[in-house]
A = this chain, B = another copy of it.
């Protein structure tokens, strides 16, 4: 998508630095080869792996298998596995549609943006683990932060509160998506006998000693209650409704 500095530099560290520095598409010199392995292709392959097999399956070898190359080939374009994580998170962030701040609809706008983020995380199961690790070190992440901040400030939220709220919201989406991905993955391959199956879990809840776990027993049903992302919306509203004061 974004034109990128394909600086003809062998050192991938320098490449990474260049990637992070360039604020806008200002290509140094493009140097197309026959069917060149590019960072874009690597990102695409990586995202495909995550989408189809989950983040745990995102190994260097899985990516290169997707691309029909060998592991070492990646290291011409990429520093690290962590670098790849950084890149795919950046890519996802770059795809978010960020609205122009509307002071009258700031809460709605935030719900919309974080809804996008949530859905994106869930589309790439487990990727929120990477998102939690990245900590806004790349430009695309900053772009999203900037937009969220703009919406909050437009809503009349005091700067310090705005920054903190942004932080809370971001942490929460990531954690929510991570947990949900895990639960889903667990449901998928419950053939892993050593892990308790859902039935066993429910059974165990009911088998809990009533004297020690009265509330948990009584309200276990609520734990899984809530259609769709009702639980998510609940927490978002909790935060958004309260920062105005």
A: which residues have CB within 8 A of B? Answer: 13, 16, 20-21, 23-24, 79-80, 83, 129, 132-133, 135, 137, 142-143, 145-146, 149-150, 153, 159-165, 167-168, 171-172, 174-176, 178-179, 182-183, 186, 193-196, 201, 204, 208-209, 212-216, 218-219, 222-223, 225-226, 231, 234-235, 238-239, 241-243
Contact = CB atoms under 8 A, between A and B. Distances in A.
SS of A interface (majority): helix
A80 B212 CA distance: 29
Work out how many copies of this chain go into the complex: 2
A163 to B, nearest CB: 4
A179 B219 contact: no
B183 A175 contact: no
Given A80-B194, A179-B171, A194-B83, A225 B16 contact: no
Nearest to A186: B135
Contacts of A135: 179, 182-183, 186
Contacts of A231: 164, 167-168
Contacts of A145: 216
Contact of A209 (B13, B23, B162, B174): B23
27 contacts: A13-B193, A20-B196, A23-B208, A80-B194, A142-B208, A142-B213, A143-B212, A146-B212, A146-B213, A146-B215, A146-B216, A149-B216, A150-B215, A160-B219, A163-B219, A164-B234, A167-B231, A168-B234, A168-B235, A171-B175, A172-B175, A175-B175, A235-B239, A238-B238, A238-B242, A238-B243, A239-B239
